[in-house]
Chains A and B, each alone.
Chain A
Amino acid sequence: MRSFTDALTSLLGKSTSIRRRILIAVSAVYLLCSGITVSWIYLEVRHEVDELFDAEMIQQAKTLAVIVAEPARLQLTTSKAQSLVVPSLQQHSYEDRIAYRIEALDGSWQVLTEGVPDAATVPFQMGFTTYQGEQLWHVFGMLTADGQSRILLLQEDEFRAELRSDLAIDTIFPVLLLLPLMLWLGWLAIHRGFKSFARLAQQLRLRSNNNYAPFPLADEGEEVDLVKRSLNHYLARIEQSFAREKRFSADAAHELRTPLAALKVRLQRLQESPSGDLQQEITELLESTNRIINLVESLLTLAKVEGQLELTDTCDLAKVWRQVLADNYARIEAKQLHTEIHLEASCKRAGAASYWYLLCNNLLDNAIKYAPAQSSIQLTLEQHQMLLCNPVDSQHQLDITRLTERFYRGKQLHVQGAGLGLSIVAHLATQLQVEPEFNYHDQRFCVQLYLR
C-alpha cells in the first residue's frame, strides 16, 4: 500500500495538469478500490469453496464408510488379499485429484485409489488437515461406525483453486473492462468542469492592463465562482493600491515641490540682492537646491514608472528619438560631442510617446553626462533593437550588474545626478515590454534594447 501511495504521489508530482492529476488520482482510487473488492471477493470465494468442498468430503467419507468399507473388508478377508487398488479410469482430468484410502485399524487390509499417498507419507489423522507434497492436498480422516477401520479422503488444492480463480477472474474482468470507459467518462466530466476555468483564463488574458472591473458571477459552478470572487477581491485591492500610489505621488509632488519652489525663489532673490559678501555661498546653495529639485523630480518619476502604466497608445519610436535628440542638442554641442545616428524612418511601438520619451531621454542624458568631451555617441534604431553607445572616461568605474539599482552611481560622484536614471529606464523597459542589456568594455558603455 505504501509503495502504491508513493508511486501515486510521484506520478501526481510529475504531472503539471490538474485535469491529469485528478484523472490519475481517480483512476488510482478506482483501481485500489477494485483491487480491495476483488481481493475480498477472492478470500470470501476461497472460504466458501473450501466450506463447500470440505462438506462434500465429509459426505463422501460417510458414503464410502457405508458403501465401500464393509463389503471391501469382507471381500479381502475372503480372498485372503491384503489390499485392493481401485484403478484409474482416465476418464477425466480431475480423476486423480480426488483419492481415498480405507484401511483396517490393525493394517490387515486396505482399499485405495490408484496413486493415493501411502500411510507413511500421509498418516491417518482425524478431521481436516493438509498435506504439502508436490501439490497441496486437503485431507479428511474419520473412523467407520464399528471403529474397526478408518477412511482418509484426499482432494488436491488445484481442484478448488481453479474454481476460485475462475470466480475471481469473472469478478475482476468487468472492473478492468469498464476502466477505460470510466476514465473516458471521467475525462469528459473533468474537461467540461474545467471549461469554465478556461473561459476565465481567456477573459484574464484579453484584459487590458488598467481594467480592474470585477468579473461577473455567472452560474458556472461553485469552484469558478470562488476563484472569481477571490480575483475580484484581488482586483479591487490592486485598484485601491494604484489609486493610493497615484494619490501619494500627487501629494508628495505637491508637498515637496512647493517648499522647494519657495526655497529656490528666496535664494534667487538673495542672489540678486546687492550685498556681495555671501554671493558665492548663495550661488552654491542655489546649485544644491537645483540638485535636490532634480533628485525629487527623479524620485517622483521613479514612483510613477514603478506603478502600472497604461499601454493603450502606440507611438513612433523614431519620432521620439528625433525629439529627444533635438531637445538635448544644445548639451551635445556644449560638450562638443559627435553624433552618429542611424534611425529607421518609422518604428511603431506600444506605449505612450511620453513614456518612451522618458526612457530615451534618460539614456541620452546618461550618455551625454558620461561621454568625454569631443567624443562620439552612436545611436542605432532598427525595427527589433535599439543601441546607444558612448565612450566613458577611463577614471569612471562601473559595476555593470548594479547599474539599475536605485542611487547607484559607481565612483563618478563628480558627475551630477542621483543614480536613478537607469533605474527609471529599467522600470520603464519592463512596463513597455522591452529587454534592456548593458555592456561595458574597453571604456565603452552600450545600452541595447530588444524591441519585441
Chain B
Amino acid sequence: MHILLVEDDAMLGQAVALGLNDRGFNVAWVQTGAAAISALQHHAYQAMILDLGLPDLEGSRVLINCRKRGLRLPILILTARDNSHEIVQQLDNGADDYLTKPFDLNELGARLRALIRRQQGHTSATLSLGELQLNTETRVVQLQQQPISLSRREFELLKALILQPGRVHSRDQLEASVFDQDTDIESNALEVHVSNLRKKLGNKEWIETIRGIGYRLKQPGQGAQ
C-alpha cells in the first residue's frame, strides 16, 4: 500500500514512516506542502497522511488543492490542534479521517487500512457478533444463519449496537441513530424497540440494559467484549 506522508517534523516523520513500513505500508515522506503537491502530481498513492501545520503552506491548502484537482485518494489529517471547529472544517474540505497527536502507531495503521479498504470498495458490508450477522447493504439480519425480520428502526438500533459490540451506548446516542432528528420521540420509544428486538433475537441477554445509562450488545452467556 503506497502512502504519502506529509509531516514537517523530522523526528516524527521518520518514525511514522519506519513504523508504517514495518506494518506493510510503502511510505513516501515529504516535509512541505509544495513537495506534497508535486509528489501527488507525479505519483499515484493509495492514501495520504497530512499534517496541518506545514512550514510553507497550511495542510488545509494541500487538502483543498487535492480535491480541486479531482484526486480521490483517502486523506487522513494528522493534527496537533484539538479545535473541533477546525477538525470539522477539514472533514468538510474533503478529509476522510483525522487523528490528533500524540497517537498510537497501531491505530494509525488500522485507520489507514480501513480508509484504503473503503476506497477500494472492499469494505465488508457484514457486521457480526458470534452467530448474529447484519448486512448493511442488503439489510438482512441472520441469527444462526436464520433470517430475522426487523423493522427499519429495529435494524438501525441493532446496527448501532453491533458496530461497537461490548461497548456501552448511551440511550441518547442510540436515539440519535434510530430516530430522525425532527421526530418527536416518546420517552419510552427506545425501550419499546429494544424490547421488540430482544424478542426477535430470542434471548434477552443479547442486549444488556445498563441502568440509568443505556444498552450494549453482547453474546448471551458471555461478559462484556
Identify the A interface with B (CB < 8 A): 250, 253-254, 256-266, 268-269, 272, 293, 300, 316, 319, 322-323, 325-327, 329-330, 333, 339, 341-343, 345, 354, 379
Write the B69-90 contact mask toward A (1 if CB under 8 angstroms, else 0): 0000000000011111000000
A232 to B19, CA, bound (A): 53
| A325 touching B170 in the complex, CB below 8 Å, given contacts A269-B18, A339-B212, A345-B187 | yes
Residues of B near A342 (CB, < 8 A) are 212
Picked from B104, B105, B213, B214, the residue with its CB within 8 Å of the CB of A269 is B105
B53, A259: Cβ atoms closer than 8 Å: no
Flag B6-26 by CB within 8 Å of A: 1 or 0 each.
000101100110110010000
B172, CB-defined interface residue at 8 Å: yes
**How far is it, in angstroms, between the C-alpha of A269 and the C-alpha of B106 when the chains are bound?**
10
Beyond A266-B11, A326-B214, A333-B224, 10 extra complex contacts between A and B, CB < 8 Å: A262-B9, A262-B12, A263-B102, A265-B19, A265-B103, A322-B214, A326-B173, A339-B213, A341-B211, A379-B212
When the two chains form their complex, are residues A322 and B103 in contact, meaning their CB atoms are under 8 A apart? no
**CB neighbours of A300 from chain B (8 A):** 82
A422 to B16, CA, bound (A): 35
Residues of B within 8 A of A (CB): 9, 11-12, 15-16, 18-19, 22, 53, 80-84, 100-106, 167-173, 187, 210-214, 216, 224
Known: A323-B170, A345-B187. A250 touches B104 (CB 8 A): no
**B9 contacts across to A, CB distance below 8 A:** 258-259, 262
Q: Which residues of B contact A257 (CB under 8 A)?
A: 80, 100-102
Q: Which residues of B contact A293 (CB under 8 A)?
A: 102
Q: Which A residues are CB-close (under 8 A) to B187? A: 345
Question: Across the interface, which residues of A come within 8 angstroms of B211, CB to CB?
Answer: 339, 341
Q: Chain B residue with minimal CB distance to A316?
A: B172
List the A side residues contacting B53 at CB < 8 Å.
254
Q: How far is the CA of A103 from the CA of B27 in the complex (A)?
A: 142
- Which residue in chain A gives the minimum CB-CB distance to B18? A269
Interface pair B12/A329, CB less than 8 Å apart: no
Closest residue on chain A to residue B169 by CB atoms = A326
Given A322-B213, A326-B214, A329-B168, A253–B15 Cβ distance below 8 Å? no
Could you tell me the distance in whole angstroms from the C-beta of B98 to the nearest C-beta in chain A? Answer: 13
User: How many CB-defined contacts (below 8 Å) exist between A and B?
Assistant: 104
Contact B172–A319 (Cβ < 8 Å): yes
Name the residue of chain B whose CB is nearest to the CB of A253. B80
- How far does the Cβ of A332 sit from chain B's closest Cβ, in whole Å? 9
A354 B84 Cβ-Cβ under 8 A: yes
CB-CB under 8 A from B15, the residues of chain A are: 262, 265-266, 269
* Minimum C-beta distance from A316 to chain B (A): 8
Tell whether, in the assembled complex, residue B22 and residue A272 are in contact, meaning their CB atoms are under 8 Å apart: yes
A336 CB → nearest B CB, Å: 11
- In the complex, the answer to whether B12 meets A265 with C-beta atoms within 8 Å is yes
Check A254 against B80 for contact (C-beta < 8 Å).
Answer: yes
Indicate if the CB atoms of B104 and A258 lie closer than 8 Å: no
Q: List 16 A-B contacts (CB under 8 A).
A: A256-B80, A257-B80, A257-B101, A260-B102, A261-B12, A262-B12, A264-B102, A265-B16, A265-B19, A319-B172, A323-B172, A326-B170, A327-B168, A329-B167, A339-B212, A343-B212
Closest B residue by C-beta to A328? B168
| Cβ-defined contact, B172 with A322, below 8 A | yes
Tell me the bound Cα distance from A294 to B83 in angstroms. Answer: 17
**Chain A residues whose C-beta falls within 8 Å of the C-beta of B170 in the assembled complex:** 319, 322-323, 325-326
